[in-house]
Structure 1
Amino acid sequence: MATANDRAVLQTIFNPSTPFGDVPGLDEEEEVQEEEDTFAPELLEQVRDLELQGVSAAESGDVSTALERFGEAIRLLPERASGYNNRAQALRLCGDVAGALRDLDAAIRLSRGCGRAACQSFVQRGLIRRLQAQEEEARRDFARAARLGSAFARRQLVLLNPYAALCNQMLCEMLGQLRDPRDPGAE
């Protein structure tokens, strides 16, 4: 059985555009189970159902219904981070970036910066900050999301770091030459 380091090396060889150590699935085992212990099971099930309805509505283009469902979920469990994270996405779709940032800050605070909701919130906030040309703040958010297991955030960190991108490009070229050792000048 391969170790985590072995998988990281293989990941770098076969996907040189990702930073070293970005192994899909490696950090996904950290599924937060404390939520079931913290909230009443019936209420948690109801809130999750409302959030699923909100996601479905948003995916079908009905953002106002999505906002209603996420709002209901937050009213039922205002101390649960996921509802704020989901509502932030819908608010962003409506163009309410300030409202989205408030909800993302709330999700991060409620999750204490841990777990899936925090990870998604850091990614969303990083994207907003990047669009607002707040590169350093975006980098910090992506770094926190990457530590929580987000491969997307790791890729964003590479994009924000020109030296890492250059190293990855050079590694990709070198691996390409190893795969096809023919001298390109001989053709």
Structure 2
Amino acid sequence: MATANDRAVLQTIFNPSTPFGDIPGLDEEEEDNTQEEGDAFAPELLEQVRDLELQGVSAAESGDVSTALERFGEAIRLLPERASGYNNRAQALRLRGDVAGALQDLDTAIRLSRGRGRAACQSFVQRGLIHRLQAREDDARRDFERAARLGSTFARRQLVLLNPYSALCNQMLCEMLGRLRNPAGTGSE
């Protein structure tokens, strides 16, 4: 079973722009999910799958995306009804440049998780980021809203950035603070 530190490292690897502790309260929810997983899956099989996922994360961390994809694929073959493997494989697929494959895995992770728990939260964030990169702002907003409801601070920040009024206010505030910090730089020469 993964320790709290392992989970923090996984979070950082698979969501590098997300700070540690981004998802407050999910540790408790994860304990509930672990209990549900323990009820749904054979404990020895679940332990084997989690180990494969950790191996995949380690491989991805070292830059070996092919091995990471193999490990995540093995985990999915062993427990195809577990959302976490699809979420992890989606990140590796994204690293490889397979956005369509990543989106397919994210959709599967969200469906399997029924939109609840850590895997769902991370999947909504990942899918929202892909939508943003594809200039699909409405889709991105919907995914970030769902992730924010699951506790993601990162998703909340993305929602602020997607709000044009908020972005304008932030821009004006930054300009004003810049003038206050450097009053000599605001005059015309």
Structure with bigger helix share is 2
Percentage of matched positions with identical amino acids: 86
Q: How high is the TM-score relative to the length of structure 1?
A: 0.75
Q: After TM superposition, give the deviation of residue 25 of structure 1 in Å.
A: 6.1
The partner residue of 2:163 within 161, 166, 173 is 161
User: After superposition, what is the alpha-carbon deviation per residue over 1:62-115, rounded to whole angstroms, capped at 9, x for unaligned?
Assistant: 000000000000000000000000000111111110000000000000000000
Unaligned runs of 5+ residues in structure 1 are 1-22, 177-183
* Higher-Rg member (1/2): 1
Alignment of 1:5-154 (within 5 A): 26-28=24-26, 29-31=28-30, 32-33=33-34, 34-154=36-156
C-alpha separation in 1, matches of 2:65 and 2:130: 19
Structure 2 distance, partners of 1:38, 1:168, is 46
Does the C-alpha gap of structure 1 residues 82 and 26 become closer, same or farther in structure 2, counting only changes over 3 Å?
closer
| Distance across 2 between alignment mates of 1:123 and 1:25 | 11
* One-letter amino acid of the structure 1 residue matched with residue 25 of structure 2: D
Alpha-carbon offset, residue 163 of structure 1: 1.8
Three-state SS of the structure 1 residue aligned to 2:29 is coil
Which structure would you say has the larger RCO, counting Cα contacts within 8 Å and 6 or more residues apart? 1
2: CA distance, partners of 1:127 / 1:24: 16
TM-score (structure 2 length as normaliser): 0.75
Q: After the TM superposition, which segments of 4 or more aligned residues of structure 1 sit over 2 Å from their partners?
A: 23-33, 164-174
Q: Counterpart of 1:84 in structure 2: which amino acid?
A: Y
Cα deviation, 1:25-84, whole Å, max 9, x if unaligned, reads 643332223122211110000000000000000110000000000000000000000000
TM-align CA RMSD = 2.4
CA deviation profile, 1:121-180 (whole Å, cap 9, x unmatched): 000000001000000000000000000011111110011012234456778999x8xxxx
Alpha-carbon offset, residue 24 of structure 1: 6.3
SS at match of 1:149: coil
The alignment of Structure 1 onto Structure 2 pairs a total of residues equal to 156
What is the rounded CA distance, in whole Å, between the counterparts of 1:171 and 1:128 in structure 2? 28
Q: CA–CA distance in 2 between the matches of 1:148 and 1:65?
A: 31
CA gap of 1:48–1:105, structure 2 versus 1, over 3 A, is: same
* Corresponding letter in the other structure for 2:116: C
